[in-house]
């Protein structure tokens, strides 16, 4: 893709900044990362104007309204509407502009609540998503439907990737909207600073999750853009599963928190289990996660510690 004009929506976000760095590492010289201040992708005039100004040949649609369980519960309507509108219009104008490749980024939240573990792509439609994030998951799943429909009618080259939960440097550590890893890292570090003897975690601690280091996900997206052109969705994951309780204990160990971990059972667990079958990604374009979870977690904590130190200074 070294000679392609590549548009990365959400390119300044958590995953987006790592993807842009990966594309440039591979030799891409024309990568565009429009900002919301310039182009509101929920507004059709802005989407049209963006395509007219940037004239992309490849589009990687990462822009999304995202958050943890609390944020999803508080803003289900906003999460549904804005994600649907962005996806529908960004892809429609890509088609109208004769874009050569469209890479849609979905979410593991699209899977049914009780899908068999590990999740296989063929199970994507065999039930309703977990209720707390269903509006977001279904909105993102519409990218898959739209891409397959456009491929069938217009010969449009759209692919759809389903990343598992991500973590790493530049994640969102805002307690109002963060996901579980940054939320726990922040809680534990603040407890250490305050000399607190307890950290309260949401749920029972029994739910399980799979986590993928953000740089590995960026590499997978670039690999798929270069080598995959099938109509079927592709799971992007690390191929392991860990309980929230074990995760919390690991983060406490790495942050130096030696107090009690208390689980608030009045808060939801979310989906009971999450883990992906990643065979298709390995077979279709040779992707396999390369970052050890403990090493990736240590890097993430080290990065956030540096950010906090700089802010305090």
Helix (H) or strand (E) holding 232: none
CB 210 within 8 A of CB 218: no
In sequence order, the 6+-apart residues with CB closer than 8 A to the CB of 233 are: 106, 121, 124, 144, 160, 161, 162
Q: Which two tokens stand for residue 128?
A: 């309703």
Catalytic residues: 136
In the chain the first and final C-alpha atoms are separated, in Å, by: 41
Rounded distance, CA 97 to CA 25, Å? Answer: 27
Q: Which two tokens stand for residue 141?
A: 């799943």
106-129: string of b/e by CB count within 10 Å (b at 16+)? bbbbbbbbebebbbbbebbeeeeb
């Amino acid at each position: 893709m070294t000679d392609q004009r590549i548009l990365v929506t959400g390119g300044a976000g958590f995953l987006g900044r790592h993807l842009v760095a990966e594309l440039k590492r591979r030799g891409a010289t024309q990568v565009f990362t429009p900002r919301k201040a310039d182009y509101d992708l929920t507004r059709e005039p802005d989407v049209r104007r963006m395509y007219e100004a940037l004239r992309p040949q490849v589009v990687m649609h990462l822009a999304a309204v995202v958050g943890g369980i609390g944020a999803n519960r508080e803003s289900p309507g906003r999460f549904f509407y804005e994600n649907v509108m962005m996806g529908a219009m960004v892809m429609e104008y890509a088609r109208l502009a004769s874009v050569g490749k469209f890479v849609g980024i979905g979410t593991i939240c699209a899977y049914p609540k009780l899908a068999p573990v590990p999740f296989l792509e063929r199970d994507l439609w065999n039930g309703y998503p977990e209720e707390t994030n269903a509006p977001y998951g279904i909105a993102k799943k519409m990218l898959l439907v739209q891409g397959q429909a456009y491929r069938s009618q217009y010969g449009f080259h759209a692919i759809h990737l389903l990343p598992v939960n991500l973590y790493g440097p530049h994640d969102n550590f805002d307690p109002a909207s963060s996901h579980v890893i940054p939320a726990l890292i922040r809680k534990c570090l603040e407890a250490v600073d305050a000399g607190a003897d307890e950290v309260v975690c949401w749920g029972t601690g029994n739910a399980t999750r799979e986590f993928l280091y953000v740089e590995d996900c960026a590499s997978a997206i670039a690999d798929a853009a270069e080598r995959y052109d099938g109509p079927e969705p592709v799971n992007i994951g690390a191929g392991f599963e860990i309980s929230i309780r074990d995760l919390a204990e690991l983060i406490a160990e790495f942050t130096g928190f030696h107090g009690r971990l208390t689980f608030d059972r009045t808060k939801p667990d979310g989906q009971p289990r999450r883990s992906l079958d990643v065979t298709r990604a390995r077979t279709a374009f040779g992707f396999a996660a390369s970052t050890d979870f403990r090493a990736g977690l240590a890097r993430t904590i080290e990065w956030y510690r540096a950010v906090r130190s700089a802010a305090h200074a």
